[in-house]
């Protein structure tokens, strides 16, 4: 992919001859039928594929294993609120040609305070993903290899930790080579095929095993944060892991697991630049120019048509993410919870094989193939998403440097940063870097629900100050955005408080 430099000119000048600002919708997006809607989906599908590795397979299953159906609401409301978050941002970009990070520069207060609040944690947390995800898959590989899981320490590392670090290094380098030498489309198509089979089998497993519908519906709709089950405190090993760990930290983990965190969405919105949705990628248009243009009803209708494209992308992709997340959470409740089998450290993936072997023992091979493709696709896709995150962040914070970097140069910088950072965290002893769940929890607190909630309020502000009246959010959308922002901010802030005051 190639990315054009951000334009400093008002695109109105380019269309002065006709008075048109917004391009026509492509013919493929016009007409009727589900095919038209599917062709409107783009960046959302990549975000969905990037999060399935650690999000659905590990964290959602963990939520069901610990709390049964009681925490389904985290995944349901978290996904719904984030769909609102990214839609309002994508809509803003398509209608104004200005990435939200650029618009947030004008927020009242110290210069650049909100872009910095979003960007710095986002960039700083990228190595966590590139250590936690390879390590999760590495532990699974080590288990499948038949090698011993216990042994003497190797320097500052325990035996299993040392072996997992070796496997994680191999996984990360394989993904790096794929990203350098191959096309993302190839991996995406293969992953969609195998993961599609996995998801179909997961649906069948949920139906065959038969969830407790009453408990599932209550857990889905009624938010509540209960203490850990008695059997967690009764098991010495589990008690040592969960003592001092507030259930609110699990809430933070679950909210971030469904669809990712703010660090993903900066790049997600930036990817619509290459899609050419509306004014995205064409340069920002002033509020006055927009107001003059949309005084023409035909141009106004065209703008509204473009605003529906990011809506379809957000609803479609997050709908898939929510559904798959809930399926894995319910399987965790049905299969793992009764066995008191919680995905932790050395066993983050091994227990989940039971989701499919409950149907037939040989389906373990489908699960294993799906796991490998999901995690490799996650890392591969993360390189692509984070390249856009860096580009959009750099365009606002370091515009001169960013303009001088080619798309290839930016990709190289991001790959080097993520790989070196990931390897550093991987090989740091756990006594210093923390375990996988600990690192993911930290990431969820720093750039998770609270930041996503503040993002929603920032979108309300730029909508009121940047958009002409005819293009502003409807009352219903404003209300939904406020509800999403308030809910995520409160949940995120409570989790942060509980991190310091258990």
pLDDT tens for 21-77 read 888 888 777 767 676 677 677 777 777 766 666 678 899 999 999 999 999 999 999
**Token duo for residue 235:** 């098991």
End-to-end CA, the chain: 46
What was the pLDDT predicted at 275?
82
**Token duo for residue 263:** 């660090």
Residues 502, 498: Cα–Cα separation, whole Å = 5
Residues 117, 446: Cα–Cα separation, whole Å = 10
Name the stretches of the chain with pLDDT < 50. Answer: 1-18
Report how far Cα 200 is from the mean position of its chain's Cα atoms: 22
**Token duo for residue 172:** 């990360």
Nearest C-alpha neighbor of 118 from the set 8, 3, 264? 264
Q: Burial, 377: exposed, middle or buried (Cβ in 10 Å; 0-12, 13-18, 19+)?
A: buried
Nearest C-alpha neighbor of 374 from the set 176, 249, 199? 199
3-class secondary-structure state, position 361: helix
Query: Which domains, from first to last, does the chain contain?
Result: 35-500 (1.20.1740.10)
Q: Rounded to whole angstroms, what are the CA distances from 297 to 300, 309, 371?
A: 5, 19, 50
3-class secondary-structure state, position 157: strand
pLDDT in tens, 403-450: 888 888 998 999 999 999 999 999 999 989 999 999 999 999 998 899
Residue 8 dihedral angles phi and psi, to the nearest 5°: -95, 0
Residues 459, 457: Cα–Cα separation, whole Å = 5
Nearest C-alpha neighbor of 366 from the set 352, 384, 376, 346? 352
What was the pLDDT predicted at 457?
97
Mean pLDDT of the chain: 88
What was the pLDDT predicted at 342?
96
Residues 433, 445: Cα–Cα separation, whole Å = 16
What was the pLDDT predicted at 492?
95
What was the pLDDT predicted at 15?
47
Q: Burial, 462: exposed, middle or buried (Cβ in 10 Å; 0-12, 13-18, 19+)?
A: buried
Report how far Cα 169 is from the mean position of its chain's Cα atoms: 23
Q: Burial, 407: exposed, middle or buried (Cβ in 10 Å; 0-12, 13-18, 19+)?
A: middle
**Token duo for residue 484:** 């999403």
Residues 264, 36: Cα–Cα separation, whole Å = 26
Paired with 154 in beta bridges are 157
What was the pLDDT predicted at 338?
96
Residues 447, 502: Cα–Cα separation, whole Å = 20
What was the pLDDT predicted at 52?
65
Q: Rounded to whole angstroms, what are the CA distances from 271 to 8, 9, 53, 57, 379?
A: 19, 20, 21, 26, 17
What was the pLDDT predicted at 195?
64
């Amino acid at each position: 992919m190639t990315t054009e430099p951000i334009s400093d000119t008002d695109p109105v000048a380019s269309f002065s001859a006709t008075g048109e600002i917004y391009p026509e919708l492509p013919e493929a997006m016009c007409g009727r039928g589900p095919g038209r809607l599917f062709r409107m989906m783009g960046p959302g599908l990549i975000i969905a594929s990037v999060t399935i590795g650690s999000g659905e397979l590990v964290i959602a299953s963990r939520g069901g294993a610990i709390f049964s159906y009681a925490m389904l609401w985290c995944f349901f409301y978290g996904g719904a609120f984030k769909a609102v978050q990214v839609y309002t941002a994508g809509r803003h970009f398509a209608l104004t040609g200005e990435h939200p990070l650029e618009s947030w520069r004008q927020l009242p207060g110290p210069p650049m305070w909100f872009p910095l609040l979003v960007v710095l944690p986002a960039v700083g947390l990228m190595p966590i993903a590139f250590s936690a995800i390879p390590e999760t898959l590495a532990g699974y590989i080590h288990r499948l290899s038949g090698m011993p899981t216990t042994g003497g320490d190797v320097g500052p590392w325990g035996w299993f930790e040392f072996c997992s670090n070796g496997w994680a290094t191999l996984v990360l380098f394989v993904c790096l080579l794929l990203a350098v030498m191959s096309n993302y489309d190839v991996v995406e198509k293969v992953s969609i095929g195998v993961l599609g089979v996995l998801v179909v089998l997961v649906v069948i497993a949920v139906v065959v095993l038969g969830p407790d519908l009453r408990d599932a519906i209550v857990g889905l709709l009624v938010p509540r944060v209960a203490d850990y089950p008695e059997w967690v405190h009764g098991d010495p090993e589990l008690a040592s892991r969960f003592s001092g760990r507030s259930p609110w930290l699990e809430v933070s983990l679950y909210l971030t697991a469904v669809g990712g965190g703010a660090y993903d969405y900066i790049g997600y919105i930036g990817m619509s630049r290459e899609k050419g949705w509306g004014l995205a990628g064409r340069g920002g248009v002033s509020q006055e120019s927009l107001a003059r243009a949309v005084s023409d009803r035909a141009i106004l209708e065209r703008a509204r048509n473009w605003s529906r494209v990011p809506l379809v992308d957000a609803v479609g992709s997050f709908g898939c993410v929510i559904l798959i997340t809930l399926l894995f959470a319910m399987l965790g409740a049905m299969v793992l919870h009764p066995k008191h089998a919680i995905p932790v450290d050395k066993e983050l993936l091994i227990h989940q094989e039971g989701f499919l072997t409950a149907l037939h023992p040989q389906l373990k091979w489908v699960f294993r193939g799906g796991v490998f493709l999901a995690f490799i696709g996650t890392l591969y896709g993360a390189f692509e998403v984070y390249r856009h995150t860096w580009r959009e962040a750099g365009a606002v914070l370091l515009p001169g440097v960013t303009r001088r970097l080619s798309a290839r140069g930016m990709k190289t910088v991001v790959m080097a940063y993520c790989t070196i950072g990931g390897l550093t965290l991987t090989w740091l002893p756990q006594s210093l870097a923390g375990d996988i769940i600990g690192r993911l929890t930290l990431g969820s607190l720093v750039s998770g629900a609270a930041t996503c909630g503040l993002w929603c309020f920032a979108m309300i502000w730029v909508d009121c100050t940047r958009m002409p009246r005819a293009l502003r959010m409807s009352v219903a959308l404003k209300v939904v955005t406020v509800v999403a922002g308030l809910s995520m901010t409160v949940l995120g802030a409570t989790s942060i408080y509980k991190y310091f005051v258990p």
